[in-house]
Amino acid sequence: MDRLVAVVVAAATVLALAGVRAGTAAAAPGRQPGDQPSQVLTWGRNQFGQLGNDSTEHSNVPVTALLPAGTSVKQVSGGYGFSVALTSDGRVWAWGENPNGQLGDGTTNGSRVPVPVALPAGTTVTALATGDDHTLALTSTGRLLAWGYNDFGQVGDGSTTDRLAPVAVDLPNGTTITAIGAGAGHSLAVTSTGHVLAWGYNNTGQLGTGNYADSSVPVRVPLPEDVTFTAVAGGSAHSLALSSTGQMWSWGWNTYGQLGNNSTTSTNVPVRVLLPEGARVTSLGDGSGHGWFSLALESDGQMLAWGDNSYGQLGNGTTTRSTVPIRVQLPPGTIVSAIAGGDDHTVALTSEGRVLTWGYNRYGQLGDGGNTNAVLPVEAAVPQGVRVQAIGAGQYHTLAVVPVEAAGTTTTLTTSTEEQTHGEPVTLTARVECEDGTPTGTVVFEADGVRLGTAELQDGTATLTVSDLDVGEHVITAHYEGDRLCGPSTSDPVTVVIRRAETSASLHLVKRFDRFVGSAGPHAKARPKAKPRHDARMSAWHDHDAIRYRFVVTNDGDVPINAITVHDSLTGTVSCSSGTLAPGRSVTCYGTHKVTLKEKSRGYVDNSATASGTRADDGRTVVSNEARLRVDITYK
């Protein structure tokens, strides 16, 4: 591609890209991008649709890239005329120009809206790095994929053929990659052993191998053996490496002092960056590249910059280049959590989720609503109250990840009844309506602030049946917890009254003839020859005999009954039991009646009896049925 050759030889502006640690993103502290739905905001140059808003008009304020609804983005990055986004589930989307396969969708068709990159089946991507017209993707297994422009071997598959879809980088056997970076036409990677690999364009020594020969496969950079490296970044034609102790090395083109070694002499082997005394670097940035300048983030949230400063991209209030790292003049109290650089502009994400930008602004890449260059940080016009989660930069455009405000929902609760008997079921039904489609997820039901249970929504409805509510009045609510698109909501309260269960208290009395007894009383010895003719017609053999009755009282209800007593007009009151008669149990007692002269003349005794007791639960009186018995009397 002639564009890249002209860029390096003629010293025109090109893309430079800083590296990203495996599995990380330029995220605000305490927040993991991808945990919730998000949007990608973009601004700046849009000649090829790299803003992703289905337009080719430049914008000096943020616009929205048209990713599918519900997408969760964890990292963004940009190239010369294209952009990429990594989702939380390891997929990649791309948009913009595509003559060399920059979009990785298997075609050369450009797109003004995001399209999915054709990753190999089963691949989960954890980090991206973009060059001028190629992209690197680090996978969860430590493998490396690449696609796009490949004239200089920057794809790393051993060829110089453009790749329209991801292919595997030809890594040395047994190599696991932990971090990646890319420059305009070269690529960088850190291995699990802390070594640095480089491949691609090498006309200014940006591979650091001691020569100027391009390489279409990764080669090891001869950095100090006793130093472990953790991150890499690429500039337009230079490279940076960060050690585990926060020190830096650089190599490649150095006309503007971008190597940071107080020199403008280019070198094809690594040299030490002259950091300020006491400085400890923790990041080389995330997103797109650094043109002819370099950036670094310190452990205390301050920023270093060095190299070209023609448009104020160093952020120190001047346009004077610097051959050593100098601190960016951030607003007082600002703590930076992530950095990214375009060709001639710089982007910083603060710990409060704000975006600061400075440098070149011809296309509105600073996003402040104007097109005037800034030599000091200005704030991008991200919507008020929106906390940015991650940032990235293309050559002349900027990207930011922001959370999607969940759509409003309404939860309505109904119950199967407003009153119910204790122990009987009550069905609670929650209906959730969402402004942006059908809600999914969980509804929590509570009674008087105490969790009753949960139910999953099915077509917007969740039901829960309960049978263990205590007797009394209960205030029931349903709380929808929300999902990726629909926000949480709580229903208005509904009152349910649980009544005490109606219990059955019942006594059944049976009155029977037991025998004749002597007039001496109920304990007198029975006459042995007394024989009943049938159950209710008995014979007496001697005058003045008495009748002994047997009373059987049964509790045939479901409530225990105390103090069972039989009431008979002939025998008088008979106390059967002073204790409790349990449901289903019986008690037997006896009463005696001395036959009267009138009854003798009539020839029979006929009367009735009832039994009574008091309920054990509430003390109310329970009366049995009336039990009637006739005893015929004959004398012989």
- Residue range 124-173, pLDDT digits in tens: 999 999 999 999 999 999 999 999 999 999 999 999 999 999 999 999 99
52-59 long-range Cβ contacts below 8 angstroms, 24+ apart: 52/83, 52/95, 52/96, 52/112, 52/113, 52/114, 53/112, 53/113, 54/112, 54/113, 55/112, 56/112, 58/363, 58/364, 59/364
440 shares a domain with 348: no
- Please give the pLDDT value at position 635: 63
The answer to whether the CB of 131 falls within 8 A of the CB of 182 is yes
Rama region for 152: left / alpha / beta (φ>0; ψ in -120 to 50; rest): alpha
**For residue 495, which amino acid is it?**
T
78 shares a domain with 227: yes
The answer to whether the CB of 221 falls within 8 A of the CB of 198 is yes
**C-alpha torsion 252→341→23→269, nearest 10:** 10
**C-alpha torsion 36→42→48→52, nearest 10:** 30
Those residues with Cβ within 8 angstroms of residue 592's Cβ, 6 or more apart along the chain or in another chain: 517, 521, 522, 546, 547, 548, 549, 571
Query: pTM above 0.95?
Result: no
Q: What is the CATH number of the domain that holds 291?
A: 2.130.10.30
367 shares a domain with 484: no
Q: Average per-residue pLDDT in the chain?
A: 89
**For residue 88, which amino acid is it?**
S
pLDDT more than 90, % of the chain: 77
- Containing structural domain, residue 21: 12-403
448 shares a domain with 592: no
85 shares a domain with 194: yes
Q: What are 322's two structure tokens?
A: 């610097």
396 shares a domain with 429: no
Residue 6: inside a domain, yes or no? no
Lowest mean pLDDT among 262-271, 315-324, 524-533: 524-533
Q: Is the pLDDT score of 523 beyond 50?
A: no
- From 499, 517, 533, give the residue that closes a domain: 499
The whole-number average pLDDT for the span 265-284 is 97
Distance CA 377, CA 441 (A): 43
172 shares a domain with 58: yes
- From 460, 482, 499, give the residue that closes a domain: 499
Per the structure, how many domains does the chain have? Answer: 3
Residue 2: inside a domain, yes or no? no
Burial of 492 (0-12, 13-18, 19+ CB in 10 A): exposed
The whole-number average pLDDT for the span 40-65 is 98
220 shares a domain with 238: yes
Buried b (16+ CB within 10 A) or exposed e, 550-586: ebbbbbbbebbbebbbbbbebbeebebbeeebebeee
- Please give the pLDDT value at position 516: 83
480 shares a domain with 353: no
Rama region for 422: left / alpha / beta (φ>0; ψ in -120 to 50; rest): beta
134 shares a domain with 97: yes
The answer to whether the CB of 494 falls within 8 A of the CB of 413 is yes
- From 372, 403, 434, give the residue that closes a domain: 403
